[in-house]
Amino acid sequence: MSVSSIATAFARASSARKWHSHAVFGRLTSILSLLFLAAACDAPPAPLTSVPLEFAGSETCRECHAPQFGLWQQSHHALAMQQATPDTVLGDFSGVDFRYGDNVSTFFTRDGKFMVRTDNKDGELEEFVVSFTFGVTPLQQYLVQMEDGRVQSLTIAWDSRSRADGGQRWYHLYPDEIIGHDDPLHWKRAELELHVRRVPFDGSAQELRPG
């Protein structure tokens, strides 16, 4: 690729601009970039391969970023969002009831899963599997993954402070007003949807897989 042919292409691009045709000019601009690339190196540019996008997981960062990985692992950031397991759940899921307005929600376990029976979008009690923990201190919130992939944040949270500090209890994030099932702030509604939309979740995978 000679410099003069690049110049010719550039001249064509300039006249294309005069036609006020954005489509043609845009195409010439990309051709120009390719010409510059071709002129810069003798070998033809390697074809672009498409790598499938998938969640790499934090472990994959360790090999190249060992000190940062160590610091991160000891920080609360590493605990920000975890699969709900006996190791990560701080709240009392031993069948305890929590009253809010006219509803009584119950936190319990079944078949090793952490569950909540609470009011659904229609105001009726329904059972949900708690999928993730969110945060550790001074409170821990719980996330429920819906069948369509949405992740909703429960508005009843666990006060993880010590008993002496008034903690170790369930409480509602909106204690002074009763949020009904038709309120935008109800936990099943859009306001309480995690801002990771439509996260595909493979139940067998131990990690969240953002899509």
164 CB contacts (<8 Å, ≥6 apart)? Answer: none
The residue among 147, 169, 148 whose CA lies nearest residue 158 is: 169
> Judged by CB under 6 A, does residue 42 bind ligand HEC?
no
> Judged by CB under 6 A, does residue 48 bind ligand HEC?
no
The residues in 56-75 that bind ligand HEC, with binding defined as CB under 6 A, are 56, 60-61, 63-65
Which of the stretches 5-13, 55-63, 126-134, 156-164 binds ligand HEC when contact is defined by CB under 6 A?
Answer: 55-63
Rounded least distance, CB 209 to ligand HEC, Å: 13
Rounded least distance, CB 117 to ligand HEC, Å: 37
DSSP 80: S
Rounded least distance, CB 64 to ligand HEC, Å: 3
Which H helix or E strand runs over 169?
Answer: strand 169-172
- Nearest residue (CB) to ligand HEC, 76 versus 110: 76
> Judged by CB under 6 A, does residue 77 bind ligand HEC?
no
The residue among 101, 98, 133, 136 whose CA lies nearest residue 117 is: 98
Q: Which two tokens stand for residue 34?
A: 């390719």
Q: How many residues bind ligand HEC (CB under 6 A)?
A: 6
The residue among 134, 139, 145, 137 whose CA lies nearest residue 188 is: 145
Say how far apart CA 153 and CA 171 lie, in whole Å. 14
> Judged by CB under 6 A, does residue 80 bind ligand HEC?
no
> Judged by CB under 6 A, does residue 53 bind ligand HEC?
no
Interface residue list for ligand HEC (CB under 6 A):
56, 60-61, 63-65
